[in-house]
A and B are shown apart, each in its own frame.
Chain A
Amino acid sequence: MVYLFRKTSTFVKNRQINSWLIFFLLVYIIFVIKLITIQEINNSVFFAVYSLAVSFYILSRFAIAYFYEPESAKFGKNYQPSVSFAVPSKNEEKNIRETILKIAQTDYPKDKFDIIAVNDGSTDNTLGEMRKAKKIAMGGGVKVEVVDWKVNKGKREGMAECVRKSKNEIIIFIDSDSFVEPDLAKEIVKYFIDSKIAAVAGHGYVANADTNTLTKMQDVRYFVAFKAYKSAEALFGTVTCCSGCCSAYRKKYVLEVMDAWLYQSFLGVRCTYGDDRSLTNFLLLKGYKSLFAPEAKAYTFVPDTFKKFMRQQLRWKKSWVRESLKAGLFMWKKNPIMSISFYLGVILPLFAPVIIVRALIWYPYATGKTPWFYLLGLLLMAIVYGLYYFIYTKDKKWVYGVLFAVFYTIILIWQLPWAILNLRDPKWGTR
């Protein structure tokens, strides 16, 4: 009895358990709200189904992610393929030297990795910084190759050039403004022991998280997007986007799809953005698998002004639309849970604006009632989102996650229709 009591009290003292309890309590309340919503709006089946599907989709990400425990990661401990770090960059004089030097500190046999940096027609001193970095790195025994293009060819060409130049098995793409942890290579390549694996996404964190509210919000967003969403996809070997900031690809497989990828066009316009998602997509289409490496950490700079942020998001949205349409053609062949998740993930945001207008504008206007119930559901969902971040990081910034979720629901969903309208506009949008 006493033992049980002591066990219970330590159980309760454990803050993580407490947080989980709150988490599940909130989830419970959300379910209850859904239950009531379904019963009350029999006349609007679409609205009820949508409301249910959204919560189901988001919560199921958390649930599925929980099961992600890649087997190959355990077996691959002593597996050491040769690796090339690829850093395509343009006008990045501020960060490029540190980016390269951080890579150079990688804890991996020196003879088994090199660095390929492409200066894609920069108009600033990027090339000079690259060369400085090369000198320092070479001093430490790390091979660095600098490719200099006088004319800007685009990121995709830069990435492709790295693949061509590399003599190694694995290419790890690192954004020119991302800093990697020394054990990144070790943590990310072990997944490649499984020969079906074509790509592995690292865990991107925000380097400038503490700058302002916007970056704090993005910090939470990044964490949840990787930890929950990418894990949920990785459980089925189908990470749909091995993002540019730090992802590893198997060169052999990339070469198979390289031409198709490089000269990809959409709606008659050559694709010049969303290169990472596109490459992953080509590989998945081929039947290869992609995974997520939670321990492979890289820190990247995120937009710190609202304008830059919105432009970046719009760019992402556009590539998301394009690549989702493409992926939609083959996703049904994958694991049923994965394909249902995928199609839900595509369809739900499409209708979000209609739903939000109905719930927050039309409904109060038509009935004269404030949609407290709906807002409560929204807020709880946002808190659950933030709490998920808190549980793993114990970081006070979680409240910005709540803020972000609300911000996303009310503002960001409007970007999707806008992105669809501007699909053919090839503008990369300055980074």
Chain B
Amino acid sequence: MKSIFLKKILVMSAILGIQGFFLYAFYINEGLIFNFKTSYLTKVYLPSYIQSLNNLKLKTGNYLVSVASVFNFNTVYSENIFSGDSQYAKSIPVLLYHGIIENADGSNILLEDFKDQMFALKKAGWETITLDDFYAFMRDKKELPDKSFLLTFDDGRKDSYYPVDPILNALDYNAVIFVITKYSLEDKSGNFYLSKKELKQMAKSGRWEIEAHTREGHDIYKISQDGKQGHYYSNKLWLDDKNRLETEEEFVNRIKSDFISAKSDIEQGLGVEVISFAFPFGDFGQDSVNFPEAEPIISDLAKSIYSTAFYQVWPGKDFSFNYPKENQFLIKRIEVRSYWSSDNLLKVLDTAKAKSLPYFDNFGDYNGWVKKWGRILFDDNGLKIMSLEDSTGAVTILEGSYDWSNYLFNSKIYFNKGETFSILGRFLNDDNFVACVFSNKSIKIEQVLNGNKKIIAEQQGDFQLIGGVYNAGIALKGGAVNCYLDNYLDNEITITSLGSYNLDPLLDFGGIGFKIWDPQFNNSEMIIKEVSIKEIK
């Protein structure tokens, strides 16, 4: 009698156990079940699975695994060959993605492209780092291997997680996701944004760090009486009920409260620490429409609440990597474009990472010359820079030269037209650099510091620049700067040089570039045949 009862207890426990097991299985995979697309299977899960087998094979050399990997068409493993002379990274890129999608929409990345990019990065030796490591690196407190990068996703979309996570898992990568707390932490995640439960699961997996994107600021708001709309962070909003714009105080309170709640929403909701903020639309005040003074205000507020903040740069417009040179609060991110192949992405990273000296370039390959103004193009003659119909000049700089400090930068150039051409050194950004400015009448040393131009040396002369091949150069050592020009006047070559020791200490490092200028539109052009940069000891 007892044994029948016991048997029944066992049977019932088994049934409840099985039910409970499957229920739990459902519960922990609920997100995946409802967000699963069959294409994930072939595009993500299968390749990721094969990759995992490969990793295992590399680790164990297991016979069975080797057999299983016969079916592997995607052999990818990190070659871990350190390029260049340094084992340690001098600069680190931060990649920015949003959603990983199925059907092209012109801005988000397609699933297969993303997979290819990640596998290609792994194969090329790129490894992800955590936000903490990145922060320590930027503060010069930690050295990281060359080819380290930080992978980030904005907005906290479901399609940033479900198709991506298996890939991260297989490649042993991790990522940071910046969430909009108004949606994700408030049970208003819907079908698009990740829910609190999903974020918890992500944080628990160890592959994801959850950081703040904003609470309210990801929508467009009314910023003037006539209904014009603008970004939440960089503009004073129009208050309909009071029929006026916000006061500065109201603006400050609003921004501050969004900074604070975006952080605390996540910290309280998920129990994780938040140290960084990604500006919605990458706008930290620089794109303000009605409040130009916003940028320093936002910057001060952000610094009081976050350790670091992110925005995005278009690669090919500026230095796109981050250097631990100066306690940078604002971190640049490379927003991966939807039309990039994995080769494009690798090229962007390879050309933009810190270059070491000596450096030589005759433009046979693309090595990271980026256009900041006007137009640049590469042809058989070299690098050609020119002004456009609506520009009086052009500027190009070399990616990866940002942290150079003492160097001699020589170039062989051909100045077709224009009033001046300049060799740029110690170039940090548009507002901070040194230039040797050459014209037919003079050579000047210009120092641009925080946007203020100052001529620190000048020499009059008679230089016939147009039509000849010149060697032009700049030498920088500490606070000393020298400009050189091979002068071909009257068929005689004389080297003119001009020096100064008065360079501002703030400009003690920076990259190289070229600039041309003419008072008229579309009337300047220069061809650069080759450049060589040597370190000055």
Binding site for B on A (CB under 8 A): 24, 27-28, 31-32, 35-36, 39, 42, 63, 66-67, 69, 71, 74
Q: Mark B26-53, 1 if CB is under 8 A from A, else 0.
A: 1100100000000000000000000000
Minimum CB distance partner of B15 in chain A: A24
Q: Which of B4, B12, B19 contacts A69 (CB 8 A)?
A: B4
Chain A residue with Cβ nearest B187: A42
How many residues of chain B have a CB within 8 Å of chain A? 17
- Closest B residue to A35 by CB, please name it: B27
Minimum-distance CB pairs A-B, first 7: A31-B23, A32-B26, A67-B8, A71-B1, A69-B4, A28-B19, A28-B22
Question: Taking A27-B19, A28-B22 as contacts, is the C-beta distance between A69 and B27 under 8 angstroms?
Answer: no
B8 touches A35 (CB 8 A): no
Number of A-B contacts (CB under 8 A): 32
State whether the Cβ of B73 lies closer than 8 Å to any Cβ in chain A. Answer: no
Judge whether A31 and B12 touch: CB under 8 Å: no
Known: A32-B26, A71-B1. 7 other contacts (CB 8 A): A24-B18, A28-B23, A66-B11, A66-B12, A67-B8, A67-B12, A74-B1
Given A69-B5, A74-B1; A63-B19 close (CB under 8 Å): no
Give Cα distance in the complex from A231 to B1, angstroms.
Answer: 17
Q: How far is the CA of A239 from the CA of B26 in the complex (A)?
A: 37
* Residue ID in chain A nearest B24 by CB atoms: A35
CB distance from A172 to the nearest CB of B (A): 26
A35 touches B26 (CB 8 A): yes
A35 to B34, CA, bound (A): 14
Q: Please tell me if the beta carbons of B12 and A63 are within 8 angstroms of each other in the complex.
A: yes
B190, chain A: closest CB distance, angstroms: 11
List residues of chain B with CB under 8 Å of any chain A CB.
1, 4-5, 8-9, 11-12, 15, 18-19, 22-23, 26-27, 30, 187, 197
Residues of the B chain whose Cβ atoms lie less than 8 Å from the Cβ of A74: 1
16 intermolecular pairs with C-beta atoms under 8 Å apart: A24-B15, A28-B19, A28-B22, A28-B23, A31-B23, A35-B27, A35-B30, A63-B12, A66-B12, A67-B5, A67-B8, A67-B12, A69-B1, A69-B8, A71-B1, A74-B1
A45 to B236, CA, bound (A): 41
Which chain A residues border B8 with CB–CB below 8 Å? 66-67, 69
Q: A71 to B5, alpha carbons, bound, how many Å?
A: 10
Q: Are B23 and A35 in contact (CB under 8 A)?
A: yes
CB distance from B343 to the nearest CB of A (A): 44
A124 to B60, CA, bound (A): 93
Residues of A within 8 A of B22 (CB): 28
Hey, which chain A residues are within 8 Å of B5, CB to CB?
Answer: 67, 69
The CA of A66 and the CA of B11, in the complex, are separated in Å by 10
| A71 to B22 CA separation, bound complex (whole angstroms) | 35
Q: How many Å lie between the Cα of A66 and that of B5 in the bound state?
A: 10
From the candidates A31, A36, A71, name the one contacting B19 in the complex (CB within 8 A).
A31
Nearest A residue to B2, CB-CB:
A71
Q: Which residues of B contact A66 (CB under 8 A)?
A: 8, 11-12
Distance in Å: Cβ of A51 to nearest Cβ of chain B: 16
CB-nearest residue of chain A to B195: A39
CB distance from A169 to the nearest CB of B (A): 25
CA distance A69 to B4 in the complex (A): 8
Contact partners of A42 in chain B: CB under 8 A = 187
CA distance A35 to B187 in the complex (A): 16
Chain A residues contacting B23 (CB-CB under 8 Å) are: 28, 31-32, 35
Residues of A contacting B9 in the complex (Cβ-Cβ under 8 angstroms): 67
Residues in A whose Cβ lies below 8 Å from that of B19: 24, 27-28, 31
**Residue in B closest to A39 when the chains form the complex, CB atoms:** B197
